[in-house]
Amino acid sequence: MNNIFIALSTHHVKYCEKIAQQQKKATNILITSRDFEVDKTIFDRLIYLKSKAYNQSDSTVSKIKTIIKKASVYKDVVAQLRDLRNKAQLRVYFSSLEDMLSNHMLFYFSRNIEGVVIEDGVLNYYMHTLEEVSQFNFLVKRLIALAYGIKIKPYIGHTSGIDYDKVKYQLVRQPNFAIKPEKSRQLPQEKRKLTELSNNNLIVGQEPYGNMFGSDVYISKLKKLLTQVIGSDNYSATHKIYYKPHRHGPRLDFEALKRDFKNHNLIYVDDETSMEDLYFDELKCRNIYTFDSSAVFSIYSEAPLQLKEQINITVMPFYKSVLNPLFKKLNFTIIENDL
């Protein structure tokens, strides 16, 4: 078997490493960013993406420029994989059909290819289709990709691709809760070390909502969430409030936010380290707040059993509350939003 792993985030790199270690007889090829730390001994080939790992575009023009750059980079990747096209056994591990490379590899790279989905946050736990994606944005992406020889398909069914027969299964943390549980298998998870918790607070940011609804709306909702933190029974003015922005999306004016909450110890953590690694290695906060970030689901899933119930996770869904059924099953505190 020839395995092609597409890892577009630090935690996906780790998942791919664990999967590849279980398939040592296969030829394992990793496609990822040079920004990410990789155990090179695990893979037979490494293909590095010649672009920034994360998209922090904050305007239509910059978004289009990012798509153009990514299409150019993906064209080079496909060229480097040309020798695999006629292999009899070919499998691609990917996370979402919204990604141009993943889409192209599954549908157009080879008639012999099959797919395996690797969990992408909470995407695998609620119904998300092309109807939830801006049709204009997808059309622009499709046309730009085509100009670089990268064909992508308007997919049918779930965005993960799990509905297609050529996608054999998905690897997820909680198979019983996932979309298509009958095609879901346990994702190899990292064993985290966590022996104690601090009484500090962590807010997991979701800047992409600033692109979707506007920065003013996002900041307004963030202030509402901050007010919930400060009003919590678990809060003391002596406690720190860490804010970790999302890796994608525009950066907010955090200094202005600090001025609005000047009597509180707000700390901005703009670090390329994944939220999960940062939490378990450094922050270890007992109280976690977010709108509906997948990172809190990851933290909960990876936390040692003896401390899992001591972590207080509060969510304030930003839009549609499609994840509320999952959050309820996990006993997260849910604050209703008014958007």
Q: Which of 1-15, 197-211, 239-253 has the lowest mean pLDDT?
A: 239-253
Question: Over the stretch 264-304, which tens digit does the pLDDT of each residue have?
Answer: 999 999 887 889 889 999 999 999 999 988 889 889 989 99
Cα distances (angstroms) measured from residue 201 to each of 22, 83, 264, 336: 37, 50, 12, 20
Q: Which of 26-40, 54-68, 105-119, 129-143 has the lowest mean pLDDT?
A: 54-68
Q: Using alpha carbons, select from 289, 279, 153 the residue that is nearest to residue 230.
A: 289
- The Cα 222–Cα 75 span in angstroms is 39
Show the tokens assigned to 176. Answer: 């019983």
CATH 3.40.50.11110 residue window(s) in the chain: 198-334
- The Cα 206–Cα 116 span in angstroms is 27
Query: 242: burial class by Cβ within 10 Å (0-12, 13-18, 19+)?
Result: buried
Edge-to-edge strand ranges of the sheet holding 285-290: 265-268, 240-244, 198-204, 285-290, 312-315, 333-334
Any idea of the CA torsion for 251, 255, 257, 263, to the nearest 10 degrees? 150
Task: Say if residues 306 and 220 touch (Cβ distance below 8 Å).
Answer: no
Report the share of the chain in percent with pLDDT over 90: 66
For the entire predicted model, the pTM comes to 0.80
Question: Over the stretch 52-105, which tens digit does the pLDDT of each residue have?
Answer: 655 555 577 888 998 999 999 999 999 999 999 999 999 999 999 999 999 999
Show the tokens assigned to 118. Answer: 């690797």
- The Cα 173–Cα 178 span in angstroms is 9
Any idea of the CA torsion for 220, 320, 127, 329, to the nearest 10 degrees? 90
**What pLDDT, on the 0 to 100 scale, is given for residue 54?**
55
* Most confident listed range (162-166, 260-264, 293-297): 162-166
Residue with tokens 């996770």: 313
Whether the per-residue pLDDT at 319 is higher than 80: the answer is no
Q: Which helix (H) or strand (E) holds 221?
A: helix 215-230
The length of the chain is 339
CATH code, residues 2-186: 3.40.50
Q: Using alpha carbons, select from 219, 285, 288, 282 the residue that is nearest to residue 249.
A: 219
Q: Using alpha carbons, select from 183, 186, 132 the residue that is nearest to residue 162.
A: 183
Whether the per-residue pLDDT at 144 is higher than 90: the answer is yes
Show the tokens assigned to 46. Answer: 């490494």
> Which residues make Cβ contacts (< 8 Å) with residue 109, sequence separation at least 6?
78, 81, 85, 92
> Which residues make Cβ contacts (< 8 Å) with residue 48, sequence separation at least 6?
32, 33, 34
**DSSP string of 153-181, one letter each residue:** ----S-TTSTTSTTEEEEEES-GGGSSSG
CATH match of 198-334 with 3.40.50.11110: yes
User: pLDDT confidence of 169, banded at 50, 70, 90?
Assistant: very high
Higher pLDDT: 302 or 212? It is: 302
Q: Using alpha carbons, select from 37, 238, 4, 207 the residue that is nearest to residue 113.
A: 4
**What pLDDT, on the 0 to 100 scale, is given for residue 185?**
98
User: pLDDT confidence of 17, banded at 50, 70, 90?
Assistant: very high
Edge-to-edge strand ranges of the sheet holding 90-94: 45-49, 27-33, 2-6, 90-94, 113-118, 167-172, 184-186
